[in-house]
A = this chain, B = another copy of it.
Amino acid sequence: MLHTQTAHPTGAGSSSTPLLDMAAWMQSHLLRVEQALSDWVGQGAPAGLGEAMRYAVLDGGKRLRPLLVLAAREAVASADSPDALLRSHCDEAALRAACAVELIHAYSLVHDDMPCMDNDVLRRGKPTVHVQFGQAPALLAGDALQALAFELLAPEGSAIPEGIQARLCSLLARAAGAQGMAGGQAIDLASVGVALNEDQLRQMHRLKTGALLQGSVLMGAACSQANTAARAALADYGAALGLAFQVVDDILDVTADAATLGKTAGKDAAQDKPTYVSLLGLERAQTHAQALHQQALAALAASGLPDTRALAALADKVVHRAY
């Protein structure tokens, strides 16, 4: 992990890299992601299933993971061959990866909210999927969303380089599975009412939320024909960002209200789940989030990539978000 404090790599004050208009970047990229998700989710599915899948995915969510994929793709694009057609295939791979990772996130929320798990009734300000459609359709919709994620990565007859398709499947499967997100959820499940130390808490979150956030960065970086040396630095960035996200989540769970969060607040404390706030106290948790933020930015500076402004701006957003 990198700890060096560096100049902020968003390009502010640099003569060679102009300031990024992050609001415009967000707007244009979110539009592409929303359109692609709407085009791809639930199409061709039996009616009830397709409806539940779309409900789970569309009209909600900050799309942090897809934006990380696209920002990482842009950071490595400079290493690509100048062949415009090939570059466009890599861009398509990134858009597919962006949607795929969001589908994994969305399915995990659907299953997490079910009565046998967190039994939550409110998500993104709407009734959760099993409240709206019933438990069995929610279970199936989650399962189908996971399959669709992989289907998006390896489209039949596609011109996306096969090595990129295979690498994306590999990265997503590992981020989602027993040594990633699902494994973290299992540890979480087993740790209710258990006193974890900071190492154990970090390991749980590294898997539960960190793996998919880091995976998003790695997937974006994999959408290039060049096998860039920068990938290790981007992995560091993703690891720090993933942990920062969770620390901030724990902070917001005690400082924000349900209306702002769009979900039930204070649940972790109520369920006696270990959090960074319960372990470190609020103030030290906030300091920890800032340190992780700096680690993420330092990793970008160390990557040697010419333009990591969008990745830096996303790290800022993760740490400074209000919900």
Chain A contacts to B: CB under 8 angstroms: 42, 44-46, 48-50, 53, 107-108, 111, 114, 116-117, 134-137, 139-140, 142-144, 146-151, 153-156, 162-163, 165-167, 169-170, 172-174, 176-180, 182-183, 185-187, 189-190
B-side contacts of A136, CB under 8 Å: 116-117, 189
- Copies of this protein in the assembly total 2
B173 touches A150 (CB 8 A): yes
Complexed CA–CA distance, A148 and B173 (Å): 7
Complexed CA–CA distance, A13 and B144 (Å): 46
Query: How far does the Cβ of A144 sit from chain B's closest Cβ, in whole Å?
Result: 4
A182 touches B111 (CB 8 A): no
B146 touches A147 (CB 8 A): yes
B-side contacts of A42, CB under 8 Å: 178
B-side contacts of A149, CB under 8 Å: 173
Q: List, sorted by A's number, 18 A–B pairs whose CB atoms are closer than 8 Å.
A: A44-B179, A45-B183, A45-B186, A48-B186, A48-B190, A53-B178, A116-B134, A136-B189, A140-B189, A143-B146, A144-B183, A147-B178, A148-B173, A148-B178, A150-B150, A156-B174, A162-B162, A166-B169
Q: Given B114, B135, B139, B144, which contacts A177 in the complex, CB threshold below 8 Å?
A: B144
Q: For chain A, what secondary structure do more than half of its interface residues adopt (helix, strand, loop), or is it mixed? A: helix
Complexed CA–CA distance, A80 and B139 (Å): 41
Complexed CA–CA distance, A165 and B165 (Å): 8
Q: Taking A42-B178, A189-B136 as contacts, is the C-beta distance between A154 and B173 under 8 angstroms?
A: yes
Residue of B nearest to A50 (CB): B178
Complexed CA–CA distance, A162 and B166 (Å): 6
Query: How far does the Cβ of A307 sit from chain B's closest Cβ, in whole Å?
Result: 28
Complexed CA–CA distance, A105 and B108 (Å): 20
Complexed CA–CA distance, A50 and B177 (Å): 11
Q: Which of A117, A151, A166, A174 has the most CB of B within 10 A?
A: A166
Q: Given B135, B140, B172, B183, which contacts A150 in the complex, CB threshold below 8 Å?
A: B172
Q: Taking A49-B182, A117-B136, A186-B45 as contacts, is the C-beta distance between A148 and B177 under 8 angstroms?
A: yes
Query: How far does the Cβ of A247 sit from chain B's closest Cβ, in whole Å?
Result: 21
Query: How far does the Cβ of A175 sit from chain B's closest Cβ, in whole Å?
Result: 9
Q: Which of A134, A173, A183 has the most CB of B within 10 A?
A: A173
B146 touches A186 (CB 8 A): no
Complexed CA–CA distance, A187 and B137 (Å): 10
Complexed CA–CA distance, A186 and B145 (Å): 13
Q: Taking A48-B190, A166-B166, A169-B150 as contacts, is the C-beta distance between A182 and B144 under 8 angstroms?
A: yes
Residue of B nearest to A108 (CB): B143
Q: Other CB < 8 Å A-B pairs besides A139-B139, A143-B182, A147-B173, 17 of them?
A: A44-B178, A45-B178, A45-B183, A45-B186, A114-B139, A137-B186, A142-B143, A143-B146, A144-B177, A144-B178, A147-B177, A147-B180, A151-B177, A154-B166, A156-B174, A162-B166, A165-B166
Residue of B nearest to A148 (CB): B177
Complexed CA–CA distance, A179 and B170 (Å): 22
